[in-house]
Structure 1
Amino acid sequence: MKQHPTAADVLEVLAVFCGPDGRHGNPLGVVRDGRTCPDEASRQALAKQLGYSETVFVDDPERGALDIYAPGERLPFAGHPLVGTAWLLDLEVLNPPVGEVWARDDGEFTWITARPEWAPPRTLRQYASAAEVEALEVPPPGSWIYAWAWEDEAAGRVRARGFPGRGDGVPEDEATGAAALLLTAALGRALNITQGRGSQLLTAPGPDGTAELGGRVRLLSPGRRSLTR
């Protein structure tokens, strides 16, 4: 008898916003067939079990219809899930809950075009130096803090770290596309951001209040986390 696929059968794990040497990046779980987790409760449970900062459920691979979950909440928009899923499925258009998001690939970086106001609220907290950012301790749960400092202001190079503050098992986010978009909008310029241990995010303001967000993506599967641990 033919068995229906499970989430474990269709789960891919990616690293999104890898550094120039291909290392680092923020892990992302992508469930290629959203029917394996058909409702919000089962999707939220899997996202919590996996423990990645976000997990994506693909409901229509041709239209790019996606559903995005953090371990403790459903998200209408998030940057690293969209960049990663665009790369994995080789899509030009994605349809998360916020609306249509265009994507492109230049051979090294995968880019999305989005509106910064789609990003969830983040507290952008500037520090005097990159060394101060690197020395920060993880703050107690509270607001989502994006700590940043100029490494080279003239060149648009930024050092950043992201602290979700949700108390959901993700004390620090390795690479945060939504916060990078908000910072780009606040500064009004293109940025080259090094976040976390060494992830790289590129941004550029676009027309009509949009912004581009780009990064390198690599496949981590089959080194995926067990769904039965």
Structure 2
Amino acid sequence: MAIDVTVLRVFTDENGRYGNLLGVVDAASVEPADRQRLATELGYSETIFVTLPAAGTHTTQAHIHTPATELPFAGHPTVGAAWWLNQRGTPVKTLQVPAGIVQIGDEGELASVSARAEWAPAFSIYELTTAEELSAADPEDYSDDAEHYLWTWIDREAGSIRSRMFAPRLGITEDEATGAAAVRMTEYLSRDLTIIQGRGSVIETRWTPEGWVKVAGRVVEDHIRQVD
């Protein structure tokens, strides 16, 4: 039986351009043992398998896979899942992932999640001097034993940065928009940020001294894909 995959673009700009592709799958349609195989076949930086919430409840579970492995938490899949559940008329207030309970929010055009900073993996962080240096960076120059996050200031006073992320060990040569890295950067700089990543994806974050970081962005549906 064919499996329906809703393909979203998460963290688009204000005109609905760019964004990181995400596969969203009803968890009931795929056996747990087959989820990694499907995520590998789809090839998106992440695919999220969401359990549809029971009637009258405001929480549900989800599992996130890259093409190579399962993750305890990731930003763009949880933001995308929150938007997807809301669009299908089954909104939730919390999403349970292996790392913990993610709080769901809605800020007008932006879908958002709040997560603990320590849930995000440790990235190798490189502050570059200019946008030109960032643009010229080659993923092949970075090792495959870590996730590499490169960034530079666009406007320090406004909290705006430009970034790229390479994660070859997760099966991701370059990630278009990385919510978990946005969480780490927000904690690292201890301030709210506007992050322009990849070709032009936009991630908004809000920092709290208590260790919670809100990650928000625009989401659009790209297409429906069917796989066997």
Q: Same fold (TM over 0.5)?
A: yes
Q: Write out per-residue CA displacement over residues 12-55 of structure 1, whole angstroms, 9 at most, x where no aligned residue.
A: 110000012211000000102x122212x310000000000110
Question: How far 1:149 moved relative to its partner?
Answer: 0.4
Per the alignment, do residues 176 and 86 of structure 1 end up closer, same or farther by CA in structure 2, a change over 3 Å counting?
A: same
Matched, 1:35 2:28: yes
Counterpart mapping for 1:58-137 below 5 A: 58-62=50-54, 63-90=59-86, 91-137=92-138
Between the aligned partners of 2:51 and 2:31, the Cα distance in structure 1 is: 9
Q: How many residues get paired?
A: 217
Q: Is the 8 A contact 1:60 1:66 kept in 2?
A: no
Q: Write out per-residue CA displacement over residues 145-188 of structure 1, whole angstroms, 9 at most, x where no aligned residue.
A: 010000111111100001012272x2100000000110100100
**What is residue 20 of structure 1 aligned with on the other side?**
14
Aligned partner (choices 34, 38, 41) of residue 46 of structure 1: 38
Between the aligned partners of 2:53 and 2:9, the Cα distance in structure 1 is: 20
Question: How far 1:137 moved relative to its partner?
Answer: 1.2
Between the aligned partners of 1:77 and 1:197, the Cα distance in structure 2 is: 24
| More contact order relative to length (CA 8 Å, sep ≥ 6) | 2
Query: Residue 221 of structure 1: SS of its match in structure 2?
Result: strand
Q: Structure 1 or 2: larger strand share?
A: 2
Counterpart mapping for 1:166-177 below 5 A: 166=169, 168=171, 170-177=172-179
Unaligned 5+ residue runs, structure 1?
Answer: none
Question: How far 1:207 moved relative to its partner?
Answer: 5.0
Q: Write out per-residue CA displacement over residues 107-145 of structure 1, whole angstroms, 9 at most, x where no aligned residue.
A: 211111111100122111110112211111113533210
**Match for 2:125: what amino acid?**
L
**Match for 1:89: what amino acid?**
L
Between the aligned partners of 2:11 and 2:52, the Cα distance in structure 1 is: 24
**Match for 1:55: what amino acid?**
T
Query: Residue 102 of structure 1: SS of its match in structure 2?
Result: strand
Q: Is the 8 A contact 2:69 2:170 kept in 1?
A: no
Between the aligned partners of 1:106 and 1:143, the Cα distance in structure 2 is: 33
Between the aligned partners of 2:170 and 2:94, the Cα distance in structure 1 is: 33
Between the aligned partners of 1:202 and 1:95, the Cα distance in structure 2 is: 22
Unaligned 5+ residue runs, structure 2?
Answer: 87-91
Identity rate of aligned residues, in percent? 43
Between the aligned partners of 1:25 and 1:212, the Cα distance in structure 2 is: 18
Q: Is the 8 A contact 1:95 1:101 kept in 2?
A: yes
Question: How far 1:61 moved relative to its partner?
Answer: 2.7
Counterpart mapping for 1:142-161 below 5 A: 142-161=145-164
